[in-house]
Amino acid sequence: MSFAELFGREPHGRWAAPGRVNLIGEHVDYARGLCLPFAIAQRTVVEVATRDDSRVRLASLAEPGGFDGTLDDIGSGSPAGWAGYAAGVLWALRADGHAVGGVDLLVTDTVPLGAGLSSSAALECSTAVAVDELFGLGLDRRVLAAACQRAENDIVGAATGGMDQAASLLAKAGHALLLDTRDGATRQVPFAPADAGLGLLVIDTRVRHRLADGRYGARRASVEKAAAALRLPSLREATLDQVDTLDGELRPRARHVVTEIVRVRETVKLLADGRIDEIGPLLDASHTSLAGDFEVSCAELDLAVSTARGAGALGARLTGGGFGGSAIALVPLAAVDAVASAVRAAFAREDLRSPEIRTAEPSAGAARESLHGPGTAERVDRLQDEIAALPVVDPRSPDGMLGYDEHGLPGPAGRSR
Ligand code: GLA
């Protein structure tokens, strides 16, 4: 089924936004922490045409369901299902006072669903760049990222942080995105495993998770409760000594957040120093903390991680929200096949569904895919220039990685606003 067959006319363009893998910095984006995601090659693609009324028609070749209503029909929980992620972006931009009209939108391709690779953020972000361009909004990508996050929080009802949307909109190929969720400051950190003879395996356990269910929200609530108990604005400001004064499960939950932020800083230092092959122990420690203190792992993720390590991975951890989805493993290129086979064999021994294993390449953020229709090549160039202009940590610069600035980021930070 094509756009023309479905809607009776041609789309005004096609936009794509990537999924993400988080290298490290898990469950800290709603605690004003630091995270280090990168965009993957897999993309969600939308074809969109504007309308001169307020009707919104959404359809997908990848999933059943959709939406046929008006802009005013979009609200909390409506539309339900995948359409809420796309419609929510229209709603959030309108709520900010932007002149957004109706659209016809077809999702033609998607990041693997439910694999913990942020297919939902990819749908939000592809919709956002399309709508931004088609209605001539000219918004900064950080503003678009914030709108996408509100779509997810307020319309879909998943209380997620902003990491996935920032990665999908701001990532640069060959880099990971250091995101300071305290003020939205970002930095591009060189991350090219293949150049160092390494591969980053993404092991999809095929255990499907849903972020809108209660467990993610419960973790977030504990983190907020811990900050309140310490009378701090967030756990970003907490020390381990303060964490030790917390009672019950708040203590391990908060300990994860505080130690994970330190691990992000250490990972960034090693990467900026060209020591990518030394980050394995930090990935391992992140998994231990997520499984033990934060309790968001599951048997399949633990099996993938321990088997990958045993078969030669330098480090491995669950990535994303947890409770299923994917694990990552940093593996010498020569050992990639052996690690993948060992993980498949371990799953087979346990009678588990065979995991889907891919290698991830740090890729570019969202962009228009076709240049015909309204919207100009200059605008595409400008968006790409915007991304290219984001500061890159240069390990050779004299002050590159010395000390931390006011964001707690090593070296000079990219200004967000
Ligand atoms: C999901 C959420 C993110 C983040 C991660 C955990 O991917 O969408 O905002 O909280 O979980 O790091």
Tell me the pLDDT tens digit for each residue of 219-252: 999 999 999 999 999 999 999 999 999 999 999 9
CA dist., res. 280 & res. 24, Å (int): 11
* Band of residue 253 on the pLDDT scale cut at 50, 70, 90: very high
Q: What is the pLDDT of residue 417?
A: 30
Is residue 95 packed enough to be buried (19+ CB in 10 Å), middle (13-18) or exposed (0-12)?
middle
Q: What is the pLDDT of residue 166?
A: 98
Clarify whether 164 is annotated catalytic.
Answer: yes
Interval between CA 326 and ligand 1 midpoint (Å): 13
DSSP letter assigned to residue 400: T
CA dist., res. 105 & res. 14, Å (int): 10
Ligand 1: residues with CB < 6 A are 22, 26-27, 29-30, 118, 160-161, 163-164, 211, 320-321
Q: What is the pLDDT of residue 370?
A: 77
What digits encode the pLDDT tens for the residues 33-52?
999 999 999 999 999 999 99
| Average per-residue pLDDT for the chain | 92
**Nearest CA owner, ligand 1 atom 2:** 160
* Band of residue 402 on the pLDDT scale cut at 50, 70, 90: very low
What integer is the mean pLDDT of 322-336?
A: 97
What is the CB-side half-sphere exposure of residue 74 using CA atoms within 13 A? 32
* Band of residue 413 on the pLDDT scale cut at 50, 70, 90: very low
What integer is the mean pLDDT of 102-131?
A: 96
Give me the percent of the chain exceeding a pLDDT of 90: 86
Q: What is the pLDDT of residue 208?
A: 87
Q: What is the pLDDT of residue 381?
A: 60
Q: What is the pLDDT of residue 168?
A: 98
Q: What is the pLDDT of residue 19?
A: 98
Point out the ligand 1 atom lying closest to the alpha carbon of residue 163: 9
Residue 178 is inside which H or E element, if any? Answer: strand 175-180
Q: Which has the higher per-residue pLDDT, 31 or 409? A: 31
Q: What is the pLDDT of residue 401?
A: 36
Q: Which of 154, 164, 180, 284 is catalytic?
A: 164
**Nearest CA owner, ligand 1 atom 11:** 321
Interval between CA 243 and ligand 1 midpoint (Å): 22
CA dist., res. 56 & res. 39, Å (int): 29
Domains and their CATH numbers in the chain: 3-190+364-387 (3.30.230.10), 193-360 (3.30.70.890)
Greatest mean pLDDT range, 10-14, 373-377, 403-407? 10-14
Strand-pairing partners, residue 190, are 175
